[in-house]
Structure 1
Amino acid sequence: MRPHSSLTAEQRLAAVDLFEEGFGYRAVSSKLGVSASAICKLESRFKIWGRAALEIKPTRQVYSFEFKLAIVRQYLDGEGTRQDLARMHQLSSLDLLRAWIRAYRDFGEEGLRSKAKGRPKSVTRTPSVEVSELEKLRRENERLAAENAYLKKVRALRNQPRR
């Protein structure tokens, strides 16, 4: 069974047997009593890979920007259907190619570039040996302003009448 699949291994095998008998995904999903969307995805992989769609691949394949761009351009130039291109380039599913095409149409070539994953690195300031004269004056100015505000408050409290 695939890590995120809602189908058991037995259901997947039974579905593939029914596909080979000529049943469509809706008929298979009603016969097996499982989600039509899961069976539909299995059918699309079955059309590309045949029985090899049942094999579990150990890791997710990572595709380069150039590879994605070439396949999307082939599709947009009419060099084949999504299914033909997925079979020709051995993509794991049609959804992958569909997502690339959508990203290309929405964001252009930049939509196909890999995005950075995880938390962005924080900018750490390295302590400089020589702090600029301007920075020293700013710090002293802040300190004197705080001291001045404190003394004004003390003076105001002393001048208040006692109760």
Structure 2
Amino acid sequence: MSHSDAVSAVELFEQGLTAKSVALALDIAPNSVQMLYERWQVRGTGALMTRDRKQYDVETKLEIVRRHLQGASGRILAKEYDLPSPGTVTNWAKIYRRDGEDGLRPKKRGRRPANRENPRPESEIEQLRRENERLRAEVAYLGKLRALRSHERR
């Protein structure tokens, strides 16, 4: 959704239209309009502003999730804790149900380091099997190459 579409959508929300009717009126994907609508319910016209991603500590996330699981509305919690949208509360609750408290802890970014150490040495049979597999692949490749070249010569 472009910025101008978002501005138009917010203007229509303020006139009392629902997310579904705005999506139809502007011919925009309903999911993106619904997400904007939820942000608009929390932030008003501030839903249009891009925000810096704020990090929340585990204790705060746990407090929010526990209150949500006890019945507090995602919209109310989003307003109270200055979250981007009520969907954030829902996502955290889903992660908490699936992975527990550890799911809400920050994850390390980037690739995992390659395991340079071989945990156990390969047996001679494993080495021979791997070499046999590689040689079969080479023979198959050379056979196809030979067939292609003979086909080109004709």
Partners of 2:74 and 2:87 within 8 A in 1? no
Whole-Å separation in 1 of the counterparts to 2:35 and 2:55: 20
Q: CA RMSD in A?
A: 1.5
Give the aligned partner of residue 71 of structure 1: 64
Deviations 1:12-50 (Å, cap 9, x if unpaired)?
111001101110011001110111111000000000000
Say whether 1:10 aligns with 2:4.
yes
Give the aligned partner of residue 113 of structure 1: 105
Instruction: Select 2:22's aligned residue among 13, 17, 28.
Output: 28
Give the aligned partner of residue 135 of structure 1: none
Whole-Å separation in 1 of the counterparts to 2:116 and 2:23: 55
Partners of 2:68 and 2:89 within 8 A in 1? no
Q: TM-score scaled by structure 2?
A: 0.71
> How far is 1:124 from its partner?
7.5
> How far is 1:123 from its partner?
6.8
Question: How many residues are treated as equivalent by the alignment?
Answer: 117
Say whether 1:90 aligns with 2:58.
no
Whole-Å separation in 2 of the counterparts to 1:12 and 1:121: 41
Structure 2 gap segments, 5+ residues each? 118-154
Which secondary structure does the structure 1 equivalent of 2:87 belong to?
helix
> How far is 1:121 from its partner?
3.7
Whole-Å separation in 2 of the counterparts to 1:123 and 1:14: 52
Give the aligned partner of residue 81 of structure 1: 73
Which amino acid in 2 is paired with 1:56? T
Whole-Å separation in 2 of the counterparts to 1:70 and 1:49: 21
Give the aligned partner of residue 94 of structure 2: 102
Which secondary structure does the structure 1 equivalent of 2:16 belong to?
coil
Aligned pairs for 1:116-135 (under 5 A) are: 116-121=108-113
Whole-Å separation in 2 of the counterparts to 1:92 and 1:28: 21
> How far is 1:120 from its partner?
2.4
Q: Which has the larger radius of gyration?
A: 1
Whole-Å separation in 2 of the counterparts to 1:32 and 1:77: 38
Structure 1 gap segments, 5+ residues each? 1-6, 126-163
Which amino acid in 1 is paired with 2:106? S
Runs (4 or more) in structure 1 with deviation over 6 Å come to none
